[in-house]
Chain A
Amino acid sequence: MSYYRGICNFCGTGCGHLLQVEGNRVRGVYPLPGHPLSRGRLCVRGWHIHELLQTEERITSPLIREGNSFRPVSFDEAVDFTASRLKTFSGREVAFLGSPRASNEENYLFGKFARAVMKSNNLSLTSDAGLEESSRVLLEGCGLPAMTGSLSALRQADFILVVGGDLTKQNPIIASEIHFARRSGTFVATISPRKTQMARLSQKHLRPNPGTIWLLLEALARALRTEGLVRGDDLEERVENARQYLEYLDSLDLKQASESTGVEEQEIISLARKFYESESAFAFYPVGIQSLDRRSMSALLNLFLLAGKLDRPAGGMCPVTGISNLLGSLDMGVSPAFLPGYFPVEAEESWRRFEELWQVGLNRTPGKSAAACLQEDRSIKALLVVDHDEEIIRHVNRIKELEFVVYFGAYQNAFASLATVIFPRLNYVEGDGTYTNSERRVQLSQKKVEPPAGIKPMWEILSRLASALGQPWPYKSAEEIMTEISRVVPQYSGLSHEKLRASLGLRWPVDDRHPGGTEFPLAEETGRGFKFVFDGAADRRQSLRSGKEGVFPFKLVVGRSNYFWHQNSVMKRTFIPRREYNALLLLYPNGFVEVSEEDARALGLREKQPVRIVSEAAEIRLATRISPDILPGMLYIPYFIEEMISGFLHRQVSELEKNEEFFLPVRLEKVE
């Protein structure tokens, strides 16, 4: 036998695949036909994961920095050295950056190491643009911090609303499911300023001006009111703060909203009706790598609550994660906001619970994200990072100033050169581990090849470090860690590797009442309180004006994944995806700005003509790329050229990274 069942490790769809293993090497990949979600399909990335898994650009030995180079050391020496240095820092001087590509077991232990051993709550994930925000919104609104819908049932929906991003590029197989649903009669509507492939595959595409997705979603809710479809008294029974929300909603003027968003009032009303009349409805929005903002997520949730679509089967809110185990990493509490199992850090009981479970005193002062620590906290002295897959490293100068940086990584990359100590990591086929996809499906990926000699599993490295720091950890395998997770994380209480081995994944909550997992938690478990999520009487008008329209007439949007994936740091180790993703980079080596056909005509711009983009803070020279996909008045820059980020966007970058609603007011000048 050479084809072994497994799970793709790229995006948060979690497709099933067969890996062809020969002579301890992964030689090929094939889609797994019986998988409940991917049903025998893979995307261009998934079809080439074997190329990544064959790369020789591995880190194969522990390394310790000496001056400007690294010295290979034994595992013992690396552990002793690291432990002796870590001893010298207090909890609040250390920050931890986990990896959404690492398994649940690895993330759980990483978090436990931070909180229980190092007494640090400065713990967060790379590439988590918006998942934590989405989880907070959902937790507040419906008590479930993740997808309320189900991906395997989306073909049964009447109505699907896709908001933001381009699912066909970010999570192609989920987009494919939506496409199949549409082909069998589901009504699919997309809301995004860009004309994406997802939009092309939808029956309806509403194109709000950049920065106004949230307003369009509120306008859809408002239309349900003006059309007399939703009455207040029914609503008060279903949703806690209905009265306050309706007050907030009814202050919205549909005509004005139509003007600000650039979407015709009639279009808003007819889509609202179509949505309301549907038997079941799904909403999809991206989180991770590229994400919707908090305000839009809330508006979307409110829309679903208002129309009473949330507690029905075959429907719900679907945040789509951009990376394989982004959701699982948050489930495991790699977050400044939650302990494992979504116990909030603000609550004293949470800490008591974990002190009891872990049998150790914890630092109860909530921490910050690693990025926030680096940006604003001068007291941070040490940083521990797992698999930094972003090619562009933020706060690089601050990291260089730190006293101690530990990097755990499988592949050589730019971040490794900043480390003091490097521990090699297994790649995902060299050990057992579970991964949780967008729909809460926990899947076991089993070991398929032997790791290069000397590389230890992450649990062994962390256990040795913990022991050296005075807390002997007993773990002997990933399976044992899952046993502990099942005791600690209520949503995972019914899970074990043994159970997962015989399945193609189970959706949490998996517990006594749902031993086979849960497809629609809100429909299956009544009694959760619903609540509208909104920030009270925020001044809508103010947030729509930059006040500088005259000087900076264009809205510049920065995209994170339309022509590339994850800054290509992973893709560059493959052949075909590298070629495909680099095609554009080769055509525009210094980057490009997309201009609409209308604006290009009005300004007399030709393809590839150099232009200057000027914002209040900086300017940059780029080549023009005329695109039929963007709106007049909008400019689009893809986020993949280092120089563009460091030279132009650096001050705005944290905002730009967070979500795709953010835009920068700029003007465009021709270079003569």
Chain B
Amino acid sequence: MYWLPRDQVRALVNRLAESYAVYGPRRDEVSGEVVFDRLEELERLDLQAAIPYNPPKHALLPQYEEILKYLYSKQSQKVTIEKISKVEPKALVGLRACDLNGILCLDRFFLGQEFVDEIYLEHRKKLFIISNTCVRPFPQCFCVCTDSGPAAGEGFDLDLTCAGQGYLVLVGSKKGQRLVEELGLREAGSEAQNLREKIVAESVSSFDNFALENKAWVSRATNRLTTGFIKPEVWEYIGNQCFECGACSFVCPTCSCFNVEDVNRVDGPTDRVRTWDSCSFEGYTKMAGDHNPRKPVEDRRNKRFFCKLSYSQSKKYLRPGCVGCGRCARVCPGDIGLPNVVTYIRREITGE
């Protein structure tokens, strides 16, 4: 483990900016809120800021992305297809552990199955990831219930843990090791590992005092969801409150569903575009011939929670599909973010 004094953070970021577009948390001046954004002005990076309102997903899976262009020529009766490649190397600095776990879930969906998604792969290959331990949880957090925080375990190039006047730096890759050496960081000493563990343990024990917005005892809910013993009335109660806006999927660090559209031009090439999509939409599951296996809103709602919490899905992700960031609870107009749904499922079990 290495030691990064606070005043050297700028040097680290400057170094990264030489080869990467730097992304990180910054505060909005007027609303005061934290956004995970591309930073041209590197001094805007704020490692002390709260968990950003948006996950870093847009850096790997943009909300709107042209993926290819094709043109049909009437004369030659041929189609030419051209790949649109605008993927630049990006450094994601100051990722919270939940968001890093979100990326690992996306990896397993896009890269870990039979078909590898080439566009995602290109984004992913060019990433440099620096995670940032939450030394204190934020009000909406419940990552301790989903095994995804408050500190990162894997998947980073470098990992920072704030300790007094600087950061303990954990190296997770060769790329990370190279950067640490280039910056000439000194070893943090033999006590560093213990110190990090102590900081993380303190953070975990302070959830009771600080993380007050959400409680989500996920394991029992996983059991019920997997065995299917949840009454339809519970889903109807949840479905009635769904505004069908798609926000829960859009803000979820692990949601990977997308839509593909062709933007046609009268006399020009067609762009093929990939955009975010959500299982809460009726059109998402609608098939040709008007059949819709998930027509009622409650069926679409429960699909999402199966995806996040059932055992069969967790096997795919090698972890629960929920990383405990609490964002879905904040953006939901119907107040049926995942923690509340877990509460309703538990209430059915306990009969409270």
Query: B56 to chain A: closest CB distance in Å?
Result: 12
Cβ of A551 within 8 Å of any chain B Cβ, yes or no, is no
Chain B at the A interface: SS class: loop
Cβ of A18 within 8 Å of any chain B Cβ, yes or no, is yes
Cβ of B259 within 8 Å of any chain A Cβ, yes or no, is yes
Query: A192 to chain B: closest CB distance in Å?
Result: 16
Cβ of B174 within 8 Å of any chain A Cβ, yes or no, is no
Cβ of B28 within 8 Å of any chain A Cβ, yes or no, is yes
**CB-based contact B64/A50 at 8 Å:** yes
- Expressed in whole angstroms, the Cα–Cα distance for A18 and B286 within the complex equals 30
Cβ of A670 within 8 Å of any chain B Cβ, yes or no, is no
**CB-based contact A576/B281 at 8 Å:** yes
Q: Which of chain A's residues have a CB closer than 8 A to the CB of B332?
A: 41
Q: Which of chain A's residues have a CB closer than 8 A to the CB of B37?
A: 1-3
Q: Which of chain A's residues have a CB closer than 8 A to the CB of B281?
A: 44, 576, 579-580
Indicate which residue in B35, B39, B331 contacts A18 across the interface (CB closer than 8 Å).
Answer: B35
Query: B259 to chain A: closest CB distance in Å?
Result: 6
- Expressed in whole angstroms, the Cα–Cα distance for A28 and B44 within the complex equals 21
**CB-based contact A28/B63 at 8 Å:** yes
The stretch of B3-11, B223-231, B245-253 in contact with A is: B245-253
Size of interface on B: residues with Cβ below 8 Å to A: 45
Indicate which residue in B54, B63, B330 contacts A50 across the interface (CB closer than 8 Å).
Answer: B63
Cβ of A473 within 8 Å of any chain B Cβ, yes or no, is no
- Within 2-37 of A, Cβ neighbours of B (below 8 Å) are at 2-3, 5, 16, 18, 20, 22, 27-35
A-side interface size class? 35 or more
Indicate which residue in B58, B331, B335 contacts A28 across the interface (CB closer than 8 Å).
Answer: B58
The stretch of A170-178, A275-283, A340-348 in contact with B is: A170-178
**CB-based contact A504/B335 at 8 Å:** no
**CB-based contact A575/B261 at 8 Å:** yes
**CB-based contact B247/A176 at 8 Å:** no
- Expressed in whole angstroms, the Cα–Cα distance for A16 and B277 within the complex equals 21
Q: Which of chain B's residues have a CB closer than 8 A to the CB of A34?
A: 28, 30-33
Q: Which of chain B's residues have a CB closer than 8 A to the CB of A583?
A: 282-283, 286
**CB-based contact A33/B245 at 8 Å:** no
Cβ of B46 within 8 Å of any chain A Cβ, yes or no, is no
Interface centre among A16, A30, A179, A180 (most CB of B within 10 A): A30
Indicate which residue in B31, B40, B263, B333 contacts A5 across the interface (CB closer than 8 Å).
Answer: B31
Q: Which of chain B's residues have a CB closer than 8 A to the CB of A503?
A: 30
- Expressed in whole angstroms, the Cα–Cα distance for A257 and B271 within the complex equals 60
Q: Which of chain B's residues have a CB closer than 8 A to the CB of A567?
A: none
- Expressed in whole angstroms, the Cα–Cα distance for A183 and B247 within the complex equals 20
Q: Which of chain A's residues have a CB closer than 8 A to the CB of B44?
A: 1
**CB-based contact A1/B245 at 8 Å:** no
**CB-based contact B330/A33 at 8 Å:** yes
Indicate which residue in A16, A35, A46, A179 contacts B241 across the interface (CB closer than 8 Å).
Answer: A179
The 9 closest A-B pairs by CB, nearest first: A34-B31, A176-B333, A28-B63, A579-B283, A33-B33, A33-B53, A34-B33, A2-B38, A44-B245
10 A-B contacts (beta carbon < 8 Å): A1-B26, A2-B37, A30-B35, A32-B31, A33-B330, A40-B331, A41-B247, A43-B243, A47-B246, A176-B243
Further pairs besides A1-B39, A34-B33, A44-B243: 19, Cβ < 8 Å: A5-B28, A27-B63, A33-B31, A33-B53, A34-B30, A41-B247, A44-B244, A47-B245, A47-B250, A50-B64, A56-B265, A175-B243, A176-B243, A197-B243, A201-B240, A504-B30, A575-B273, A576-B246, A582-B283
Q: Which residues of B contact A (CB under 8 A)?
A: 26, 28, 30-33, 35, 37-41, 44, 53-54, 58, 62-64, 240-241, 243-247, 250, 259, 261, 263, 265, 273, 275, 277, 281-283, 286, 290, 330-335
